[in-house]
Amino acid sequence: MLRYSLKRALSLTISLAIASLVIFAVIEIAPGDPASFMLGVNAQPDTLAALRTELGLDQSKAERYVSWVTGMLRGDFGTSYTYRTPVSQMIADRLWVSLPLALYALALSTAIALPAGIYAAARRGKPGDLAVMGATQLGVAVPNFWFAMMLVLIFAINLRWFNAGGFAGWDKGLVAGLHSLTLPAIALALPQAAILARVMRSALLDILGEDFMRTARAKGLTRRQALWRHGLRNALIPVLTIIGLQFSFLLAGSIIIEQVFYLPGLGRLVFQAISARDLIVVESVVMLLVFAVITVNFLVDLAYAAVDPRLRSRT
């Protein structure tokens, strides 16, 4: 187990190192000078040069890469070119919106998907199953920003139950904060719930055909008892994998939803930073997201190995 963990940890480190190189290279290669973007069309050459020196843009790319990476190792993500505040501070502020939003959406999607998937599996081929499958088909096909626009139209403009967007701030209280995240969370959760419900259903159906399920029925359990006691536990493994993946997606992938609801989250930060050529912010946020995804995968790998000893010998 220790050897396995070390191997995984080494591969994690290598992945991160490669990711940092790729991120830096891709973002730096794209044309556009941050200083001329900030100073606009009437800027004079000496002004531009002064600003470039101030931002450290006059150093070579290699020097900048090294100082960026070594800074991150010390927890220093550098200073934003445009906002002129420490990037780590900006990321921390935005995480207070993006992280609760991702968790909220994940909770909603799980709360919707698991019962729906179980219900559909238990009623395989019956009208209830067909209805759930039809709905999830729609949920998978329709993009989340369209859901977002419909939700705003109905609940913000017509019914006035929610604001059309914006974030109240946690200083206004938990309820106010959650209230302002509700529509975005639903919009994010619905397509995810649709995927998850389908996975739940098919995982459960696979299990229902297994020998041990037949044995359980033979022992005298009803179909429902067998499903709850033996089927569900085994079917949860693929479902948990999907939930893990979905969390990474929700954290990194809410850029459009944050635009539609003008939430001050990570996605919006990346969006603004890209158009302003605020390279250091883009690089650091992307790096952080890569780090989060790789770490989650690493933990999932370890968890698998703990659950299933066969995996340890295989690697």
Contacts with other proteins, residue ranges (CB under 8 A): 30-34, 36-44, 46-47, 50-51, 54, 82-85, 90, 93-94, 149, 152-153, 156-157, 160, 163-167, 169, 259-265, 268-269, 272, 275-277
- Contact call for residues 311 and 112 (beta carbons, < 8 A): no
- Indicate the residue among 24 and 81 with the shorter CB distance to other proteins: 81
- Indicate the residue among 33 and 129 with the shorter CB distance to other proteins: 33
**Alpha-carbon separation of residue 23 from 26, 183, 247, 284 (angstroms):** 5, 32, 22, 9
- Indicate the residue among 34 and 117 with the shorter CB distance to other proteins: 34
- Indicate the residue among 200 and 289 with the shorter CB distance to other proteins: 289
CA distance 94 to 107: 20
**Both structure tokens of 140:** 């998978």
Distance in Å, CB of 170 to other proteins, minimum: 11
8-state DSSP, 157:
I
CA distance 107 to 182: 12
Distance in Å, CB of 183 to other proteins, minimum: 10
- Indicate the residue among 83 and 298 with the shorter CB distance to other proteins: 83
Distance in Å, CB of 190 to other proteins, minimum: 18
Distance in Å, CB of 199 to other proteins, minimum: 31
- Indicate the residue among 98 and 136 with the shorter CB distance to other proteins: 98
Residue 48, helix vs strand vs coil:
helix
CB neighbours of 9 closer than 8 A, spacing ≥ 6?
A: 298
CB neighbours of 251 closer than 8 A, spacing ≥ 6?
A: 98, 99, 102, 266, 289, 292
- Indicate the residue among 90 and 118 with the shorter CB distance to other proteins: 90
- Contact call for residues 130 and 201 (beta carbons, < 8 A): no
Distance in Å, CB of 111 to other proteins, minimum: 27
Partner residues linked to 86 by β-bridges: 79
Distance in Å, CB of 192 to other proteins, minimum: 22
Distance in Å, CB of 101 to other proteins, minimum: 13
Within 13 A of 154's CA, how many CA atoms are on the CB side? 8
